[in-house]
Chains A and B, each alone.
Chain A
Amino acid sequence: QVQLQESGPGPVKPSETLSLTCIVSGDSLSTSSWSWIRQSPGKGLEWIGYIYSSGNTRYNPSLNNRLTIALDTSRNQFSLTLRSLTAADTAVYYCARRHRRDKSGPYFFDSWGQGTLVTVSS
């Protein structure tokens, strides 16, 4: 069974950089692609980006110039770095596995971490 666990700093200040890590167990980073998704308080879900097992990335253009997602295959974890934070970045951040049933099928997010709340406030 695949399990994901986010770890993060909790409160951060405006203009600072957010660093989050997602530890994966029960699967290898080489078999799927891996994503970050966030949810602002009381709001819906926003896709942030994902990284393929190759290390190639796809980012949401709304965050593209502030965002980096990276793999650490030696630790079986992946990370998110989001720069120049504002209050609008306050959200629960989820990591998730992006998977598909077969090589030609559409993708879905089938395993999620429990989420970590990041509050941006001075």
Chain B
Amino acid sequence: DIQMTQSPSSLSASVGDRVTISCRASQSIANNLNWYQQKPLHAPRLLIYTASTLQTGVPSRFSGSGSETNFTLAITSLQPEDFATYYCQQSYITPITFGQGTRLDIK
């Protein structure tokens, strides 16, 4: 199985800050990497697919980059609604696997 490792596991930031979340795959997955946002008691929401393509309706302050084994989710100018848990997910090969999540809290 491909292991997806996110860092950090948790992060505190303030409204207006820029934050980055890293995701590392245990083997190359090309650009088969997706990012999701999940708020408490809600289903995950697709933010970015194929490493860097913004899903329709997602604000442009979200961006993704990377390829092969190293990927980054960046959020510029944090808004109150961005405080949530973020997951990366590889779709390169089954079993599909997710990172363990990064919880973003208000400082």
Name A residues whose Cβ lies closer than 8 Å to a Cβ of B. Answer: 44-47, 58, 60-62, 94, 96, 101, 105-110, 112-115
Interface SS of chain B: helix, strand, loop or mixed? Answer: loop
Chain B residues numbered 33-55 whose CB sits less than 8 Å from any CB in chain A? 34, 36, 42-46, 49-50, 53, 55
Contacts of A101 in B (CB 8 A): 49-50, 53
Q: How many residues of B contact A (CB 8 A)?
A: 26
The answer to whether the Cβ of B32 comes within 8 Å of any Cβ in the partner chain is yes
Measured between alpha carbons, how far is A109 from B96 in the docked complex, in Å? 11
Contacts A106-B91, A114-B43 given; does A44 touch B49 at CB 8 Å: no
In addition to A96-B43, A106-B49, A110-B55, 12 A-B residue pairs with Cβ atoms within 8 Å of each other are: A44-B87, A44-B98, A45-B44, A60-B95, A105-B50, A107-B32, A108-B46, A108-B50, A109-B44, A112-B44, A112-B45, A114-B43
